[in-house]
Structure 1
Amino acid sequence: MNVMPASTIRTYPDIGQKAFGHKGRLMLSVLLFMDLYLVAVEFLILGGDSLERLFPNTKQLTLGSLTLQGHKAFILITAFVVLPTTWLRSLGLLAYVSAGGILASVIVEGCVLWAGAFDGLGFHRQGVLFKLGGLLIVRFRSLAF
C-alpha cells in the first residue's frame, strides 16, 4: 500500500488511496463522479416534470429539423437555462445565483401558504389540532428513546 503523508491528503480520492491503495482511489473517484452526474440528471428530469405540469398544453418544440415532445423539450429548456451558471468562475457571482434560488424558494413557500390560508385550498378537516392529554405519553416515549 502506498503511504501518503497526511499533509498531501486534499480530496476524497486521496483518502481512498490512503485507505485502500490505487484501487480505492479509482473506486471512490468513479462513485463521486457518478453521484455528481446522476444528481445533475435528476435535477433536469425534476425541472422538466415540473414545467410540464405547469404548462400541460405544450405538445412539442421544433428546433430546425429536431422535434421534441413536451417532457423532453422542457428538460432541454431547463438544461439551457441552468448551463450558463456552470460557467461562472467567480464565487461572488455564484452567490447572486444562490441568493436568487433562495428568493425563489421563499416566494414559492409564500404562495403555498397564501393559497392554503386565504384561497381555501388544502385540507378541510374538522377537529382539534393539538390534544394536551396525549402530551404525557409523547414525553415518556421521547425519554425512552
Structure 2
Amino acid sequence: MKTPRAAVRTRATAVSAVLVGLSLSLTACSGGGVLDGTYYAEDVNGTSNLGQLVVDGDDVTHNEYKCDAVYTKADVESTGQFSDDHSQISWITIGDDQRNERTGTETLSMTDDTITLGDTTYVRVDSDAGKAMLDKHRAEECD
C-alpha cells in the first residue's frame, strides 16, 4: 500500500516542527542568554563610580565604571559564574580592593531589566532606567 504524498509531507512538517522546538528549548537551557548584557548600579563600593556587571552566558564580570571607561585593574575586577538555576553567583576571582564587596557566593534576584545582589540593584544598560543612570552619571562625573 502506498502512502499519499500529502501524508508524507504532513509527517515531515510535524517532525521538523518538533526538532525546531527541541532545538530552541535546549538552547534556552544551555545557560545565560536571557540575562546576557551589561548592567549598572549607582555609587558602587562607596564611590561615585557605577558598578558594571557584565553577563555572558554563565560568566559574570564586575568592575567599577567611571565616565566612559571601565577600571579593569585587577584590584577592582571580580569574575564569577552563575549557579545552574541562576539563583547565585559564585565569585572566582576577587579583586584586592578593600571596597570590593564581591566575595564568596551571593544570592541574586532578577527581573527582565534588573539583577539585584544583596541591597544593590543593577539595571540593564539598554533599559530606560539604565540609559537614565548613564546619562546622569556622565553629566555629574564626566565634565
Please give the TM-score of this superposition, normalised by the length of structure 1.
0.34
Which structure is richer in relative contact order (CA contacts within 8 A, separation 6 or more)? 2
Please give the TM-score of this superposition, normalised by the length of structure 2.
0.34
Higher helix fraction: Structure 1 or Structure 2?
Answer: 1
Higher strand fraction: Structure 1 or Structure 2?
Answer: 2
